[in-house]
Amino acid sequence: MTFQITVGEASVAQVTELAAWPFPPRDLFPGVDGERAVRDAAGLGPGYADTATGELVLAIHSYVVRLGDTTVVVDAGNGNQKERPNLLPHHRFDTDFLDRFVGTGTALHDVDVVVSTHLHPDHCGWNTRLDGDRWRPTFPRATYLFGRAELASLQALAAKSPADGVPADLVRAYDDSVRPVLETGRWEAADDGHVLAEHGDTVLVLRAAPGHTAGHVVAEIRSRDGGAVICGDVVHHPIQQCCPELSQAGDADPALARRTRDDLLDRCARDGLLLLPAHFPADRPFAVAREGGRFRLAPVERP
């Protein structure tokens, strides 16, 4: 499942790692009325909920942006064979993601830059792949960019060597998906406003979007003819339009995450930016509109 769109001078391909990733509603949104959430989600269209199991459905998507001579991967999915015993939905994937990635017309060695919106396991996993018993960079020529604040907070956690629970798995992600990249030396720290690529009137830039994690960023494409935002975990599921107060279980600072979500959706609605989600279970970009005090997120059927 994938789509390819043009935004200004950039071409953007979505690569789906997992088309359906089901969760009990309260595992995703601890404050939610689960039955209502599943009903609301089912009302958005097929695929957003599994009414038989009472689960909400996410997906995992990466994006490949080609702009001028530069090819950028934004969010590197969960990756295969990663040990996540405390985060079982992330544990030991075995997907054909790399075949699908190459199927979009981009070879692994074509990639110049890899950047993650944040360093949770499902956004940096394909930074590396197993080669014998060693984790090596999946994109052999790429410079990997890490949000400076995001990398610092994960390294601070790693320094504490948590023995169990979710923190232990976050450190596993550091050890198998980040540290091997740092050891190659082909990486840079990036801050708010970092330009990833620029060509003609089109620019691909990182913007700070804190809340889900302290150092979360989004990748924004801007041109005279419009724009798009690869939004990472600022928004997880379109039911957050029905219940904007829903904060996701993994939000480090729920109040800040909500402010960032409102700001981002407002920017999309005001400036006509397409939303390119990491986790919506639909292989479409989304258009954002304001409706009263809320936002309406609608898949763009023929991008």
Please identify, using beta-carbon distances, which residue of 14 and 202 lies nearer to Zn ion: 14
The two structure tokens encoding residue 276: 């390119």
Nearer to Zn ion, 197 or 282 (CB): 282
Report the residue number, 26 or 186, with the smaller CB distance to Zn ion: 26
Q: Closest Cα to residue 253, out of 274, 233, 279?
A: 233
Q: How far apart are CA 288 and CA 66, in angstroms?
A: 24
SS3 per residue for the chain: CCCEEEECCEEEEEEEEEEEEEECHHHHCCCCCHHHHHHHHHHCCCCCEECCCCEEEEEEEEEEEEECCEEEEECCCCCCCCCCCCCHHHCCCCCCHHHHHHHCCCCHHHCCEEECCCCCHHHHHHHEEEECCEEEECCCCCEEEEEHHHHHHHHHHHHCCCCCHHHHHHHHHHHHHHHHHHHHCCEEEECCCCEEEEECCEEEEEEECCCCCCCCEEEEEEECCEEEEECHHHCCCHHHHCCCCCCCCCCCCHHHHHHHHHHHHHHHHHHCEEEECCCCCCCCCEEEEEECCEEEEEECCCC
User: Minimum CB separation from Zn ion for residue 292, in Å?
Assistant: 29
Binding-residue pattern over the window 228 to 267 for Zn ion, x denoting contact by CB under 5 A: -----x----------------------------------
CB of 170 to Zn ion, least distance (A): 12
Shortest distance, position 106 Cβ to Zn ion, whole Å: 22
Is residue 150 within the footprint of Zn ion (CB under 5 A)? no
Q: Which is nearer to Zn ion, 66 or 118 (CB)?
A: 118
Stretch that binds Zn ion, among 15-23, 134-142, 212-220, 226-234 (CB under 5 A): 226-234
Q: Which stretch binds Zn ion (CB under 5 A): 82-90, 192-200, 203-211, 227-235?
A: 227-235
Q: In whole angstroms, how close is the CB of 279 to Zn ion at the nearest point?
A: 6
Site string for Zn ion, 107-126 (x = CB under 5 A): ---------------x----
Picking from 113, 77, 27, 75, the residue whose alpha carbon sits closest to that of residue 209 is: 75
- If the CB atoms of residues 122 and 169 are measured against Zn ion, the closer one turns out to be 122
Least CB distance from residue 236 to Zn ion, whole Å?
7
Minimum CB distance to Zn ion smaller for 9 or for 233: 233
**Least separation, in Å, of the C-beta of 6 and Zn ion?**
26
Number of residues in contact with Zn ion, rule: CB under 5 A? 2
x/- binding map, residues 3-42, to Zn ion, per CB under 5 A?
----------------------------------------
Nearer to Zn ion, 9 or 75 (CB): 75
Q: Which residues bind Zn ion (CB under 5 A)?
A: 122, 233
